[in-house]
Structures are given as C-alpha cells and as structure tokens.
Chain A
C-alpha cells in the first residue's frame, strides 16, 4: 500500500501564490479527480508534485510513504514511484522513447532488455501504432498520439502513483477511451493510485473516481463522491464560487468544450 500525502501545500510562480493550502491523500488503487475552472491551480499542483523547475514551494509537505518528496530531484521522485502525464508533453528531438525508457530502467536497476517487449505490449493495449515507438519523443505526434504515448510510458514504467494533468485535453474520443481505460486497469492490476486533474467529466467515464475534489483559487472547496462531477457537468463551477471569488477574479468566459454533446 502506497500513500501520497499532500498537506497544507502552498506554492506559486514568480512570487505569486497559486496553491493556498492543499490537503489530499491518494492511496494505492484509488482514483482522485481534481476538477476546477481555469486558473484554479490544477496544473500548478501537478507540476509542484513532480518538481518542475520554475515553481516555488511556499509551505506545506508532500510525502510518498513518509519520504519527503519536495527535497527529491524530479528523477528521484519518478524512481520513488511518481509519474506525471503531462498536459503538453515536451518534444525532445533525436531522443527515442526506447532510449529514454532504457535510461530510466537502467537507473532503477531494472532489466533494460525488458523495455522493448513492454513497449510493444503496451502499444497494443492502447492502440498506439508501433511505428511511433522509434520516433523522436513527441515530435510530429498529434494531440491524441501524445497522450497515448504518455499512457504507454505509464504502463511500461509501472509507477505507484500517477498524476494526470488534463490527460483529456487535445485528444479524440477513441484515444480518450483507450487511455482512461488503460489507467483504470492499472489501478486494479498494479494498484496504481491516480490523481487525475481535469476540466471535464468525460475523462471520468472510463476512469471511475472514488473521490472528486473541487479546486477553486488554490483551495479545495469541496470533496465528495463521483456525483460531484455530475454537479460540475450540469451547473459548471458557479456553485463552488463564493462572493469573494467573483470580486477577486471575474470568471473568464466559459471555455467551449469541443467534445460536448451538442444535443445534451
């Protein structure tokens, strides 16, 4: 049983506080969804947990089975069992998926000879064309292919806790289903714990959340069961905004959901 514990986490960028005290505990096999409007700090949360440069931790703690995550280098966090599926996976010219995963396995003391077969197996499971496996990382991949690529890596690396930063953005319905189904399976097969950051409920049809958290202006305003996602879907985030939110930041015009059912 693994436990990612986030306590009183405060963090910002360039001196501006974005996360204003986050408390979350994700355990093996659990799926937690963090939903919130634009600018609520969802992506900041995922980046701070993984240690992306440019983010400043102002207070609080993040531990993985008691080990202090915030003092680890990003690669050490990954080796400890954390994984971040990025919203915008970075293009790395000239470096293949194979090279990267072999380097990761080698650093972990795992057998790098296993990488190839695992890649092929994972590619089949999520319908990722094998010809992409030898391409430079994320170069000339479509949005959906990039997310399948992230999911494939998750499958190969077998992390203990995965943070999904808007896995559902920029991908088509088929890719969304393939990716979210694979991650749901991982929660059962390997006991993966998931912190799924998302704007919309559609990610959560295949990947069924145990807990839904509503993040507004850097704070978790409400936590509850999957039914919270339905409230968001029906009513938007208005129900979770207080008067002071309206004064502090007039809500941005609603971002049209390109996947919304026009008849729904």
Chain B
C-alpha cells in the first residue's frame, strides 16, 4: 500500500504532536471557508473551537461536539476503524485530541450542510484530527470538511470514521487546500448499512505530499457507495490515493470516479482495489481513474485491481493517463478558440464531471477558481 509513495522521505521525529497550548486562538472561520446557511464547526489543530453561540442552535437530534462531551461518545471512537488501516491511523488513535463527533439521530433530515473547517496552524508539529460521523437509521445529511493551513511545515494525519446507518443518505465532501509544504496522510473509513446511500467526494489541490486512503465497506444488503475525487498537482507536489471498495453484503453497489491532472514536476498515484467477498452476490462495482498529464516532467501512476470471490457480479475498471485530448482541443480550436484557452476549457471541463456532483454548491466557484489559478501558474511556468 505504500508503493510509489514518498513515505520514506518522512522524518517522523521531526514532528511532535501539537499541544493544546500551542493552538493559536482563532475567533472565526476565514471568509473563504464560509458556506452561507451552513452549520459551521471550527477545528484548530485537531481541537474543536467552542462556538460562542453554542450548540443550542443545532437541529434537535443533531449532536456535534468533542467525544468526551457527547453522551455515549466514547463508545463511538473506533466503531468503524476497528483496526488501524495503517501506522498513521494508529498514531492518530494515540495522539488525537478528543475526536469531533457528528451524530444524527434516526429519521432526521438535516437540510443545512454541516461544514467542518480544519485549520492546521502548528508550524513544525504533527496534527492528528479525528472525526466520527454517525448517521442514524434513515437520516439524511451532508458534511463538508475543509482542510486548510497557512504556508507552514506540518504533518497532518487525519482519520475520519463514517457510520452510515440503515437506509441513511449521507454525503461527505473533503476539500483539501493545505499549504504547499504540508504533508498529509489521511484515512477515511466508512461503513454503509442496508439500503443506505453514501457519497464521498474529495478534492485535493494542496500539500507537498498529500495521501488519502479511502476505505468504503458495504456491509448491509443493497448498500451503495459513490466515491469521487478531483486532484490537481503542480510544482513538485505528490498527490496519492489508495481506495478500497469492499463489498461484504449482497446486492451492493459501488461507483468510483477519480480524476486528476498533473503539471510541472508533480506526481499522482492512484491504486484501488475492488473486493467482492463470497457473500456479496449481486454486486455492481465500478472503478474509473483518469489522469491528464500537462507536462513532460509530470507523472501519473494508475493501478486498478479486482479481487472477486463471487461469480454473480458486475465489475469493471478503467484507467487512463494521457495528455489533453487532441480531438477535444481541435474541436474548440476549429471554432476560433486559441490553443491555451482551449486547453484550459478542456481541463476545467474534465474536472466538472466530479465537481458537478459535489452537493454543496457554495464551494464550487472557489474550487473552480483554484483550478483556474493552477492553470494560470502553469502558463507562467511554461513561459
């Protein structure tokens, strides 16, 4: 699971866990992170910053708070992550400040998105944010988690546990916009119950080395998991994705679509496994990874895998790495669009298939602007 990664460059001793008193007080979420009408939660270096308005304004049946302040919270920790997917998840368990719990009671629909802003501020430290999302039976809601930092040196190793109860409908969006020298090694583990629907969408634009491992376990009959990602590397970034679609119950469906672009000297890694267990007859599982290489020095690795123990399944995987599509570019150029502009339109359009499915529209314009910014910088680099 670490092949093609840069984990051997990491000197763990250089980072000590961020202490509570090292946390710089931040009164409010920065303006860019604001989503109008959202339920906003600020977490700094893994610790939730109490909101002066308090949780009184939350919908009844929605609980958001540190694990030690939510009734029965301690039982939730590790309820999805039964064993650490990797050493960094173990470190998270050892060093995480009290985990942030988001719990929605059965049957409750939360119309407003729940926006968690994870600010990383501890220069020279390691930060271990832990988030536990629990969706009661038949509940429906969206959580957007945004990771951001100033230009500091830090290691961020978040673990997110998502428990999607029976017939619940949950969307979880992770927006990674960390500073250019930050290392991220993230684990996102979900289990999806009977007839439940889960959508996980990730965007990765920041970081020096940014890794995300996504484990989606379909544990209840008829469960559905949609996994999406959009990533764009520039400079010397490495963006690294490991996915695991784990079909453990009959009639389960998973759809994965990861799309990335690499420019400059950046690299991306995608390795994914669809596993269909013996008991998971009637599985539909799809895995698609597409990459655009924008420079001769950039590099994208794409390794899809299948492991199938049941015959009654529909599975497919596809992967591609290549330059901007010539035919698409020619079509735009033949209408009078200059090559640079045509390429920008094609690359932005390439991501749109993923972005259009992010259920928090307020973040789309800032995301598109960041992608446009990367394309601008690229043009400057190329002269």
In the complex, which residues of chain A have a beta carbon less than 8 angstroms from the beta carbon of B333? 73-75, 78
User: Does the CB pair B331–A89 fall under 8 Å?
Assistant: yes
Stretch at the interface among B30-38, B129-137, B159-167, B339-347: B339-347
Q: Scoring A residues 32 to 52 as 1 if CB is less than 8 Å from chain B, else 0, what string do you get?
A: 000000000000000000111
User: Does the CB pair A94–B337 fall under 8 Å?
Assistant: no
User: Does the CB pair B326–A53 fall under 8 Å?
Assistant: yes
The residue in chain B whose Cβ has the minimal distance to the Cβ of A156 is: B335
**Does B349 have its Cβ within 8 Å of any Cβ on chain A?**
yes
> Number of residues in A with C-beta < 8 Å to the partner?
32
User: Does the CB pair B330–A74 fall under 8 Å?
Assistant: yes
User: Does the CB pair B337–A100 fall under 8 Å?
Assistant: yes
The residue in chain A whose Cβ has the minimal distance to the Cβ of B326 is: A53
In the complex, which residues of chain B have a beta carbon less than 8 angstroms from the beta carbon of A74? 330, 333-334
State in angstroms the CA–CA spacing of A74 and B335 once bound together.
8
State in angstroms the CA–CA spacing of A86 and B349 once bound together.
21
**Does B152 have its Cβ within 8 Å of any Cβ on chain A?**
no
Could you say which interface size class chain B belongs to?
20 to 34
The residue in chain B whose Cβ has the minimal distance to the Cβ of A104 is: B336
Interface centre among A74, A77, A91, A101 (most CB of B within 10 A): A74
User: Does the CB pair B335–A101 fall under 8 Å?
Assistant: yes
Interface residues of B in 191-232 (CB under 8 A from A): none
**Does B379 have its Cβ within 8 Å of any Cβ on chain A?**
no
State in angstroms the CA–CA spacing of A79 and B338 once bound together.
9
Give the shortest distance, in Å, between B134 (CB) and chain A (any CB). Answer: 35
In the complex, which residues of chain A have a beta carbon less than 8 angstroms from the beta carbon of B345? 92, 95, 99-100, 103
Q: Scoring A residues 64 to 97 as 1 if CB is less than 8 Å from chain B, else 0, what string do you get?
A: 0000000001110111000110100111111100
In the complex, which residues of chain B have a beta carbon less than 8 angstroms from the beta carbon of A103? 332, 337-338, 341-342, 345
In the complex, which residues of chain A have a beta carbon less than 8 angstroms from the beta carbon of B346? 92, 95
The 8 closest A-B CB pairs, nearest first, are: A94-B349, A94-B352, A78-B336, A104-B336, A95-B349, A90-B331, A74-B333, A75-B333
30 contacts between A and B (CB under 8 A): A50-B334, A51-B334, A53-B330, A73-B333, A74-B334, A75-B338, A78-B336, A78-B337, A79-B336, A83-B334, A89-B331, A90-B328, A91-B328, A92-B331, A92-B345, A92-B346, A92-B349, A93-B349, A93-B350, A93-B353, A94-B350, A94-B353, A95-B345, A100-B335, A101-B335, A103-B337, A103-B342, A104-B335, A107-B337, A108-B336
